[in-house]
Amino acid sequence: MTLAPASERPDGSQYRGSPSIAADRPKALLFCPCGREAPLDEWRVEHDSARRRLVCPDCGETLTVR
């Protein structure tokens, strides 16, 4: 089996395999209707009784309740 040489991206960096627009994003992202995209640890966590709510720090929208 022969490996093909790595291709070059327009920005000069190299990649192997299929390029993806989302390749530079972290794999676990949450999205809010206000437009915020961020990893899980960048959201506000609020606890009430036995539940945990993830809340957008920008607009206050509750994303999930667990």
pTM for the full predicted model: 0.55
Q: Which of 9-18, 29-38, 50-59 has the lowest mean pLDDT?
A: 9-18
Give me the domain span that covers residue 63.
38-66
Q: Is residue 65 part of a domain?
A: yes
Structural domain includes residue 15: no
Domain count, the chain: 1
Question: Would residue 10 count as lying in a domain?
Answer: no
Assess if residue 22 is contained within a domain. Answer: no
Among left, alpha and beta (phi > 0; psi -120 to 50; other), residue 50 is alpha
Residue 26 confidence (pLDDT): 61
32 belongs to a structural domain: no
Length of the chain counted residue by residue: 66
> Is there a contact between 17 and 46 (Cβ–Cβ < 8 Å)?
no
